[in-house]
Chain A
Amino acid sequence: MIDPVTLRIFGYRALFAAVVMVLAFGRMLPLDMTATNLPGPDLITALAMAWVLRRPAYVPAGLILIVFLICDMLFQQPPGLWTMLVLLATEFLRARQALSRELPFPLEWGLVALLTFAMISGHQMMLGLFAVDRPALKLALVQGVFTLVAYPVVVFMSRWAMGLRKATPGEADALGSRL
């Protein structure tokens, strides 16, 4: 039999993949084809960061790799680049798990903001370095701001609708060691 803790972890992993797919699908709906100066938030990246900060075990690096590679492919982005940046950012957060657990929300938000803008500048730099057509810096920054505005909503939805909260000090993982 599968023990309930493992089952829950895999359930949440599947849930993450499903939520990302729904978001990606929503972005691809052919509703409005006009070019706009206001790109919407990158909810998928925000979701990944929110989940890594709360339950790193639910979003292993492999899952992030697969999910973001598919998104890169679907959204006509240079494959692998944004995935790499997201991986670096989430691994950075994962390594600071102990720190981020006690972080109050405003500070967490600040940390995510720093990472988002680091990712955007890294993205722009890499594209520039490899002489790829890159999106206008202004638009990319606007998107970053929108992502950050949406971040608390993403966190709230993860918590309220999906029951995802930070690990409490007493919690243990499947093998009984403390998280």
Chain B
Amino acid sequence: MVVLCLGLFLLWRIDSPRVERFRIALIDRVVPSFEWASVPLTRMSNMVEAAQSYQRLYEQNQELRRELQQMESWKEAAVRLEEQNAKLLALNNVRLDPRLTSVSGVVIADSGSPFRQSVLVNLGRHDRIVDGWAVMDGLGLVGRISGVGDRTSRVVLLTDAASRIPVTILPSGQRGILAGDNTAAPLIEFLEDADAVEAGSRVVTSGDGKLFPAGLLVGQLARGPDERIRVRLSADYERLEFLRVLRSHGAQIITDHGGLILTDPLPELGSQTEGEATEEDTAAAEAVGE
């Protein structure tokens, strides 16, 4: 039996995609059948937490009122900016990326191991989920799809030690790689000039390598206790319940399970962006001219 285990381990090491496919199929079969029990249990524990927070109701209420006051002024500013933005967009005739739609799903299980940071969502091949798509919660990036079963798919979180995402730091525009290291705040690696960035700067995806659409909010920079540059994630990792999977048709798909290098672009779906259309138009015009 020891030999059997060793053999299985070696098989996994040699032909990882096949074994991982089996694993995804197994989880796909087993985990959704737990849902009847896991949903009430999770709810219950959340309710207990909520009950604990009721004890501080009065303080919270005061706090919220104060925050609301501040928010009012921000709202004014936001409305004004929105008007301005709309005007400018109209002037420029910009169309926002129409291909970026999303599907929402519910987290049904986490990885179960303290060394792997991933969750299962109840979306799968039936919902046309594709490996490699970006996953967000309401606010920020959460991770990326890695492993799609029929009814479930696995989301590798940004905090996982295997997660590497190209990012941009906003005011300075520096590029870096967001590297998870199994702590709550992932590291930024390969920065050109680590001194030129400030704590508190916004970090968004850069879209390099066509991995993710550019400009998805990731979080804010912060210096860790070890003086390394880390990112405080915007997504609320303590309460991952509903996740949005972005259908990024511009991105490339991984056709092969466990394939590391992306090769084939996804077939174009739906309408094209303005820029491409004009390019084609000019090409057509040239053809006519000849």
Contact = CB atoms under 8 A, between A and B. Distances in A.
Interface residues of B, number: 49
A122 to B, nearest CB: 12
B117 A35 contact: yes
Contacts of B190: none
Contact of B182 (A25, A77, A132, A139): A139
B115 A39 contact: yes
B184 A65 contact: no
A79 B114 contact: no
Contact of A39 (B30, B108, B114, B119): B114
A22 to B, nearest CB: 10
A73 B26 contact: yes
A33 B110 contact: yes
Given A29-B41, A34-B184, A24 B162 contact: no
Contacts of A70: 26
A99 interface: no
B90 interface: no
B1 A87 contact: yes
Given A25-B34, A30-B42, A88-B2, A80 B12 contact: yes
B162 A133 contact: yes
Nearest to B241: A30
Contacts, number: 132
Nearest to B110: A30
A62 B111 contact: no
B42 A29 contact: yes
B128 interface: no
Interface in B14-46: 19, 22-23, 26-27, 30-31, 34, 37-38, 41-42, 45
A74 B30 contact: yes
Given A25-B37, A73-B23, A34 B238 contact: yes
Nearest to B49: A31
B187 interface: no
Contacts of A77: 113, 116
A109 B285 CA distance: 83
Contacts of B8: 69, 79-80
Interface string B219-250: 00000000000000000011011000000000
Given A34-B238, A80-B8, A75 B112 contact: yes
A91 to B, nearest CB: 8
A75 B116 contact: yes
Q: Which of B27, B108, B110, B115 has the most chain A CB within a 10 Å cutoff?
A: B115
A80 B1 CA distance: 10
Interface string B117-134: 111000000000000000
A30 B240 contact: yes
B12 A79 contact: yes
Contacts of B183: 35, 37
A24 B6 contact: no
B196 interface: no
Interface of A: 24-25, 27-37, 39-40, 61-62, 65, 69-70, 73-81, 83-84, 87-88, 126, 130, 132-133, 135-136, 139-140, 143
User: Which 5 residue pairs of A and B lie closest in terms of their CB atoms, listed nearest first?
Assistant: A39-B114, A80-B8, A84-B5, A135-B115, A80-B9
Interface of B: 1-2, 4-9, 12-13, 19, 22-23, 26-27, 30-31, 34, 37-38, 41-42, 45, 107-119, 154, 157, 159, 161-162, 180, 182-184, 237-238, 240-241
18 contacts: A24-B112, A28-B38, A30-B38, A30-B42, A30-B119, A33-B157, A33-B237, A34-B237, A36-B114, A73-B27, A76-B23, A76-B113, A76-B116, A81-B9, A87-B2, A135-B114, A135-B182, A143-B114
